Amino acid sequence: MSDEEDDIILSELDDDELVEQMFDDLYDGMKDEIVEGVNILLERGWQPYDILTKALVGGMTVVGNDFRDGILFVPEVLLAANAMKGGMGILKPLLAETGAPTIGKMVIGTVKGDIHDIGKNLVAMMMEGAGFEVIDLGINNPVENYIDKAAAEKADIIGMSALLTTTMPYMKVVIDTMKEQGIRDDYVVLVGGAPLNEEFGKAIGADAYCRDAAVAVETAKSLMARRHNQAGMA
């Protein structure tokens, strides 16, 4: 904690300072301040999409990096995600109105037989924090849930989570079914959960194993960028 308790008035900061202050406020999980910051930027004529990507996603990237590096832990990340949600509450309807591009859409759920959801919820929150649209299927999902929902929502990413060593093999069932239906390559498939590892992710044919929520976000971003590039070349 800093001793210099300078009183900062958000509306007196210039744009760059304000965005930097919002990074800090997100980091500290200060929801009211984030809402205030978003409103000030809107008043100053910022596009909702720019506020999302430059201020909020930018700030959550810092949070994600420090989470990945073991500097922040789940309680701080939950607070940050909660503050982010405050800002998104204002931006979401505006983004829809302006038809702004989405960063990507993810369908996520815990696999059949498994009822654990803390890790999956954390990934969903961090993905939302990074600007992705997330459809949460909840726990205990059979293969149809993933495939049907992904198709209905035109999702880009399917995310599967498992906490049990006995349920993680089900991820392969989902991927194999996708292959049979010839839709495997329509989606990026990310897997995660405490007992998994990279070797397992490769063995079952996922695009990537994500060690934690921060890695999930990073991986999703880079794989989405790669997809966009490929689509551009095609």
Partner 1 sequence: MSDALSELLATRDWLLADGATGTNLFNMGLSSGDAPEFWNVDHPDRIRALYKGAVDAGSDIFLTNSFGGNASRLKLHDAAHRAHELSRISAELGRDVADASGRKVVVAGSVGPTGEIMGAVGTLSHESAVEMFEETAQGLKDGGADVLWVETISAPEEFRAAAEAFANVGMPWCGTMSFDTAGRTMMGVTSQDFVGLVDELPNPPLAFGANCGVGASDLMRTVLGFTATGTERPVIAKGNAGIPRYEDGHIHYNGTPELMAQYACLARDAGAKIIGGCCGTMPEHLSAMRAALETQPREPRPTLEQVAEVLGGFSSDNDGTGDMSDAPKRERRGRRRS
The residues binding partner 1 (CB under 8 A) are 1-2, 4-8, 10, 20-21, 24, 27, 29-30, 32-33, 62, 66, 69-76, 78-79, 81-82, 112-118, 139-140, 164-170, 172, 194-195, 197, 199-200, 203-204, 212
Among residues 61 and 103, whose Cβ is nearest to partner 1?
A: 61
Under 8 Å between Cβ of 184 and 63: no
* Minimum distance, C-beta of residue 208 to partner 1, in the bound complex (Å): 16
* Minimum distance, C-beta of residue 199 to partner 1, in the bound complex (Å): 7
- H or E stretch covering 106: strand 105-110
* Minimum distance, C-beta of residue 46 to partner 1, in the bound complex (Å): 21
- What letter represents residue 127's amino acid? M
Among residues 5 and 97, whose Cβ is nearest to partner 1?
A: 5
Among residues 74 and 225, whose Cβ is nearest to partner 1?
A: 74
* Minimum distance, C-beta of residue 196 to partner 1, in the bound complex (Å): 8
* DSSP-derived 3-state class of residue 143: helix
* Minimum distance, C-beta of residue 43 to partner 1, in the bound complex (Å): 19
Under 8 Å between Cβ of 55 and 38: yes
Under 8 Å between Cβ of 183 and 172: no
Lookup: tokens for 62:
């810092």
* DSSP-derived 3-state class of residue 8: coil
* Minimum distance, C-beta of residue 71 to partner 1, in the bound complex (Å): 5
Among residues 48 and 59, whose Cβ is nearest to partner 1?
A: 59
Greatest Cα pair distance in the chain? 62
d(CA 193, CA 197): 8
Q: Give 157's strand partners.
A: 106, 188
Among residues 134 and 224, whose Cβ is nearest to partner 1?
A: 134
Among residues 136 and 156, whose Cβ is nearest to partner 1?
A: 136
Lookup: tokens for 166:
């006995």
First and final C-alpha spacing in the chain: 52
